[in-house]
């Protein structure tokens, strides 16, 4: 019978070791036993961008990238999008099980009683420039929350973790809406807890002089989008939250780091970049030229490709359908025609097929957000709000995991050998070193 082990031979020394294979992985620390002499610290694995490294054990989200499957705590994303709502899904992600009626009521109450933010946060927000990107405002204000809740430092305490989780999920829409109102130069609208999570958010965003009643189709569409974005296992921002959280810093600081990671155009900033790209393409006639620039590497086809999905992102399918439900209320966003044609042409092209590049979650979301009336800079913010549930679940899982320690990867040092310090007046002319300085920077 086959052993669940891997035998590795170091051909430099002939040393052989046998390491256990558990859950399809080997503990790479075992390789440190391979040394060539007593000064050798041991063999490392080299994995830039961690493409083949499992950094944790997790019970939260399952993805099968080849078959396009996404599950939270064992439930298919399609089922949750159809039958659940965001706050219930957030409960599932954070606590591991779907709530019964009583627990859901208590959870909803516990989240909504934290929707207000300290008035000082508003003053702080006022200091941002009129054109500040709302993702930068969100990142800054979430980090600032850590100064309001010193109790959050007690990350080992279950009650404290629970409280910060409720606070963060509760306050995120309020801060996001405040960032939007700042952008528009509009007075802030305070939360109304009798509304749903997304209904309250829409009101805080769009209420003008008369009161605002959220359209139920838009309210539900946003809720579905929030379900779809709630977690996605070890993506860049979740990895950032876990890594920063591993220093045992408070969760506000860790989540602020996650927001920073999400902001980038290769991650959550892609939804914003997709709409800018579609606007730049401008018409279906320009698609073939655009496709050429994506293939030449001059630009990337934003909203396409994924590190894990090598088939259609299951979230993308739901979102594409949802777009038409939203357009029933808002009118059609003409960018959808360019997006559909772009997808059709790309999915017939060898370049994209060979590399298994399919539309991801961000390809159609921006088109919906734009139809609802969000400016492009708000799109990544709309990603950050629901992802907070996932970040906090992953953070708590990491804190509780006895195998986790402070995240501290290794490096392969390829720099200079020891050398003498040269006095300022004796150093070579800057011109002689220009190339190297440019590369170093
Ligand atoms: N357009 C054109 N070529 C692409 C694209 C794209 N969108 N994505 C990947 N490629 C090519 C890339 O040039 C490379 O080609 P080659 O093998 O010839 O060098 C090959 O495909 C593999 O790409 P990679 O960059 O090594 O793949 P990755 O797993 O490191 O990157 C990705 C994944 C999502 C960052 C990348 O596909 C990308 O930049 N996509 C566009 C941005 C985007 O839509 N991001 C949202 C991701 S999903 C939601 C989220 O995470 O927030």
pLDDT tens for 319-369 read 999 999 999 999 999 999 999 999 999 999 999 999 999 999 999 999 999
pLDDT tens for 365-388 read 999 999 999 999 999 999 999 999
Question: Per-residue pLDDT for 145 more than 90?
Answer: yes
Place of tokens 């997709």: 274
Q: Looking at the domain assignment, is residue 250 inside a domain?
A: yes
Q: Which token pair is 125?
A: 């927000």
CATH of residue 140's domain is 1.10.580.10
Nearest alpha carbon, ligand 1 atom 15: 355
Q: Looking at the domain assignment, is residue 208 inside a domain?
A: yes
pLDDT tens for 221-271 read 999 999 999 999 999 999 999 999 999 999 999 999 999 999 999 989 899
> How remote is the CA of residue 118 from the centroid of ligand 1, in Å?
40
- pLDDT band of residue 3 (cuts 50, 70, 90) is confident
Q: Looking at the domain assignment, is residue 107 inside a domain?
A: yes
Residues 127-153 as b or e (16 or more Cβ within 10 Å = b): ebeeebbbbbbbbbbbbbbbeebeebb
Q: Which token pair is 166?
A: 């409720």
* Residue list, ligand 1 pocket, CB within 6 Å: 235, 266-268, 270, 294, 297, 300-307, 355, 357, 360-362
Q: Looking at the domain assignment, is residue 54 inside a domain?
A: no
Question: Per-residue pLDDT for 215 more than 90?
Answer: yes
CB contact at 8 A, 193 and 115? yes
Q: For the chain, how long is the longest CA-to-CA vector?
A: 80
Q: Looking at the domain assignment, is residue 56 inside a domain?
A: no
| Rounded distance between C-alpha atoms, residue 321 and residue 316, angstroms | 9
Q: Looking at the domain assignment, is residue 45 inside a domain?
A: no
Nearest alpha carbon, ligand 1 atom 41: 302
pLDDT tens for 305-318 read 999 999 999 999 99
Helices (H), 113-250: 119-126, 134-148, 158-184, 197-206, 216-228, 236-245
Host domain of residue 337 = 73-404
| Rounded distance between C-alpha atoms, residue 430 and residue 45, angstroms | 37
Place of tokens 């698609």: 287
The closest alpha carbon to 188, from 175, 171, 169, belongs to 175
Question: Per-residue pLDDT for 440 more than 60?
Answer: no
- pLDDT band of residue 299 (cuts 50, 70, 90) is very high
pLDDT tens for 74-95 read 999 999 999 999 999 999 999 9
Which active-site residues does the annotation give?
267, 306, 362
Task: Calculate the average pLDDT of the chain.
Answer: 95
Q: Looking at the domain assignment, is residue 25 inside a domain?
A: no
pLDDT at 14: 97
How much of the chain exceeds pLDDT 90, in percent? Answer: 93
Q: Are strands 61-64 and 69-72 parallel, antiparallel or unpaired?
A: antiparallel
Q: Looking at the domain assignment, is residue 61 inside a domain?
A: no
Question: What total of structural domains would you count in the chain?
Answer: 1
> Model's pTM, two decimal places?
0.94
> How remote is the CA of residue 266 from the centroid of ligand 1, in Å?
8
Strand ordering across the sheet containing 61-64 = 61-64, 69-72, 75-76
Pocket test for ligand 1, best of 305, 342, 355 (most atoms within 8 A of CB): 305
pLDDT tens for 267-296 read 898 998 999 999 999 999 999 999 999 999
| Rounded distance between C-alpha atoms, residue 136 and residue 179, angstroms | 9
| Rounded distance between C-alpha atoms, residue 332 and residue 336, angstroms | 8
């Amino acid at each position: 019978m086959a052993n669940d082990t891997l035998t590795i031979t170091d051909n430099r020394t002939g040393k052989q070791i046998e390491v256990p294979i558990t859950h399809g992985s080997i503990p790479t620390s075992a390789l440190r036993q391979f040394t060539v002499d007593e000064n050798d610290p041991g063999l490392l694995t080299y994995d830039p961008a961690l493409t083949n490294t499992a950094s944790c054990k997790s019970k939260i989200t399952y993805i099968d990238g080849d078959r396009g499957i996404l599950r939270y705590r064992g439930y298919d994303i399609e089922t949750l999008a159809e039958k659940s709502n965001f706050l219930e899904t957030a409960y599932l992600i954070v606590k591991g099980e779907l709530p019964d009626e009583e627990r859901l009521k208590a959870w909803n109450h516990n989240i909504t009683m934290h929707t207000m933010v300290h008035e000082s946060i508003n003053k702080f927000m006022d200091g941002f420039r009129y054109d500040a990107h709302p993702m930068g405002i969100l990142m800054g204000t979430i980090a600032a929350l850590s100064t309001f809740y010193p109790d959050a430092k007690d990350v080992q305490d279950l009650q404290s973790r629970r409280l910060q989780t409720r606070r963060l999920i509760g306050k995120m829409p309020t801060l996001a809406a405040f960032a939007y109102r700042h952008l528009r130069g509009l007075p802030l609208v305070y939360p109304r807890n009798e509304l749903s999570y997304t209904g309250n958010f829409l009101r805080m965003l769009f209420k003008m002089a008369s009161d605002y009643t959220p359209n139920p189709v838009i309210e539900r569409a946003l809720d579905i989008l929030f379900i779809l974005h709630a977690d996605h296992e070890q993506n860049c921002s979740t990895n950032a939250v876990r890594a920063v959280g591993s220093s045992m810093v408070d969760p506000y600081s860790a989540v602020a780091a996650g927001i920073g990671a999400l902001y980038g155009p290769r991650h959550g900033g892609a939804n914003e970049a997709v709409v800018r790209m579609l606007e730049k393409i401008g018409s279906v006639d320009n698609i073939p030229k655009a496709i050429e620039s994506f293939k030449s590497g001059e630009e990337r086809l934003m909203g396409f490709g994924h590190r894990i999905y090598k088939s259609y992102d299951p979230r993308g399918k739901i979102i594409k359908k949802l777009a038409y439900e939203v357009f029933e209320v808002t009118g059609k966003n003409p960018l959808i025609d360019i997006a559909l044609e772009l997808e059709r042409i790309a999915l017939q092209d060898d370049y994209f097929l060979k590399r298994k590049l399919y539309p991801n979650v961000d390809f159609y979301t921006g088109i919906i957000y734009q139809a609802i009336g969000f400016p492009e800079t708000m799109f990544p913010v709309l990603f950050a709000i629901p992802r907070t549930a996932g970040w906090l679940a992953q953070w708590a899982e990491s804190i509780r995991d006895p195998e986790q320690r402070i995240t501290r990867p290794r490096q392969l040092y390829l720099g200079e050998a020891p050398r003498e310090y040269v006095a300022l007046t004796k150093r070579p002319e800057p011109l002689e070193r220009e190339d190297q300085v440019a590369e170093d920077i």
